[in-house]
């Protein structure tokens, strides 16, 4: 029996996926638990429409990610830090500080949990970080730590 999954089901498939299952499994578990609907002609048309909408939404999101990436790569983000006489900074730069600097200098709100600083930042200079936008879209970002 063919069903269209409404929600992700472990070991079976993801949302908006057409799968073949045994009739008893579909009638007794998937359909009553609202995990799936029967794959009749009307539901198949609705599935095609949902897939078109999802594709448009993903294309729009990819365009936005590309635009944000260009703005972030244009010039390095500068982060101020207090330093000692030897040029080492007190503490280290965190993803929270980097997210705040991006928001203030570039105008984009990026969640700090998506930012990974590569290596430890304990001295002045240029360093690297990566921003994970999801769906295998990772941006390598240069940022500069300057003395206050």
At 85-140, the pLDDT tens digits run: 777 888 888 889 999 999 999 888 888 899 999 888 888 888 999 998 887 888 88
H-type alpha helices, 1-148:
23-25, 41-74, 95-106
Domain residue limits, the chain: 2-63, 74-147
Q: How many Cα atoms within 13 Å fall on the side-chain side of residue 30?
A: 28
pLDDT at 3 over 90: yes
pLDDT digits (tens, 9 = 90+) for 4-41: 999 999 999 998 899 999 999 999 999 999 999 999 99
The domain made up of 74-147 has a fold known as Ribosomal Protein L9; domain 2 (3.10.430)
Query: What is the structure's pLDDT at 76?
Result: 86
pTM (2 decimals)?
0.66
Which CATH superfamily hosts domain 2-63?
Answer: Ribosomal protein L9, N-terminal domain (3.40.5.10)
């Amino acid at each position: 029996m063919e069903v269209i999954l409404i929600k992700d089901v472990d070991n079976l498939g993801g949302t908006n996926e057409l799968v073949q299952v045994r009739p008893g499994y579909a009638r007794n578990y998937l359909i009553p638990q609202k995990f799936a609907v029967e794959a009749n002609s009307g539901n198949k048309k609705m599935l095609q429409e949902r897939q078109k909408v999802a594709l448009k939404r993903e294309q729009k999101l990819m365009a936005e990610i590309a635009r944000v990436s260009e703005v972030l790569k244009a010039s390095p983000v500068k982060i101020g830090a207090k330093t000692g006489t030897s040029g080492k900074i007190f503490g280290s730069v965190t993803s929270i500080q980097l997210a705040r600097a991006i928001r203030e200098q570039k105008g984009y709100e990026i969640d700090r949990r998506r930012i990974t600083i590569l290596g430890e930042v304990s001295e002045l200079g240029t360093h690297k970080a990566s921003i994970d936008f999801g769906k295998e879209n990772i941006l390598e970002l240069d940022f500069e730590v300057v003395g206050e």
